[in-house]
Structure 1
């Protein structure tokens, strides 16, 4: 069924994957005018019943398998919130049905799947937004404006840190699908590094090369059902560097063992005219210092972020589903190029951390 291009058409959403994060997405969608959630899908019957009842959906709109939901003629658009191993199949079927997709990152489990999707998407494109939600952070949107205005001049170095404490030992985080290579494809590389890769591409440009160091801090976690230890076969820390954009040196680190940092992304950008610092947790301002021969002693200033930067990925997705174009949105091509960087990070680590050209 074709997605309508009417600018005011009601968008009937179907949600696939009803883990705890789904409740956040449901609340976010309910804030957007002209959107209704008409169907849900999950392999867990308890979650399917709970969310189905919460949304007051009939049993006929609570699907045990995502394919039935996607092929439902009364569903216009799909929100996919599943483990990475089914991302490819969900998007593939949505392309067949020509339905808009708000896809979780990473785009697919592997590069080979992404490359196959590229061929299918090129032959039959649909409105598709990859949920790199952090590029919508107000401070990062303002940073993009300042860089486009050449406020820092040529950029020499960028440093990105995406840190959390969710996996810190005191939290005793149990084993989940994110710790399983077959389900996730990678650990923090696909989970959190994909976000700062997107931010770097959004702010500075394409990756030209990358070298990686991956590490597993916690090699076992307890199965939440059996209580027995299970081997973690993915990395939970990723550090990488490379050349980005116009010969800019980029350094990146991400992990979830940063005690005292609940959830933050920090970006430092060093250019020929000055330095800029932006943070996910400070959406109201950025810190910047600009120096030249006339102002050699200039100090850091706090610049307020304009109120115009208040859009969300959900709002942009609905606009795309209605046939509009949105400049800032991370689209299929962004997900595809991001997946290539993930592939090269994993390749670098397998080859003893050597610098890999893109």
Structure 2
């Protein structure tokens, strides 16, 4: 099939977790012989920040790690939409896209007949409701929502006529254990400080336990204000700055344990959605302890694939157990990786995507096939 994907950016993962899964999905689809074209705005906020801080070199590196990515940067005002999607069989539009682009792609569907999908992997359906309601999805065949709760919101608000659950997953080509790398840390955390969406939680579930236990720890991420850097220093945590996501397996391999600290919208209002980090960590075979989130969809096996901590004291206890019990650490690492490889890889999601497209097409053909000749 010929597939066109419109997204914020695949070239940059600077404060842009959506790129992680989409890079793996595009790579998987291309490996199966599908022609996937990626379109991203020339002035993407993530890319501009990456280039400002690190220059153009990271963009070239992404092409080396993901040679199947065929990315075209466009200016919406000058975009020839007919040329971009005129021969496409499937068009997928990520939710972090301009409202005008979403509308124009919907209108173009009538001319070209492609299957049109809207892909949502963010918390804006509960944190920016007015903005989400302004997306014109009347001509879209369905929404791909990375959790049942978001799927249900689209249907309840009547933003879309149809929606499917389509969770993120790990790129098993990139996220693998690296046993040849020597351990040098007790704990590593990969994540951005963000916009006050989890500051209290980071103090309770990350910085507090690290300081209390005296762990050798490192943090990678961006958008750390001065107060955050001061808090890291006070807890004895090394700040490693931005790390290209494809190098995260190296960072995990250098540590004995990692933690997951969900942003508040996911922990409190978007049950069942872990976001991408736990998938990637478990794929790398590192023991994981998570702050609270509700696994209402049964993605993982609680206490077997990773440990839950209800508060900072419990997080400290779990970390201490893992660091002092090599058998427990090995069991968590093995079970978590097995779980991801058995049902949460980009190959699994490619299967699900193709099945959704096939279902939509078959149902659209059915009325025509039952008409009298």
TM-score of the pair, normalised by structure 1? 0.33
More helix by share: 2
Q: Which has the higher strand share?
A: 1
What's the TM-score, normalizing by structure 2?
A: 0.32
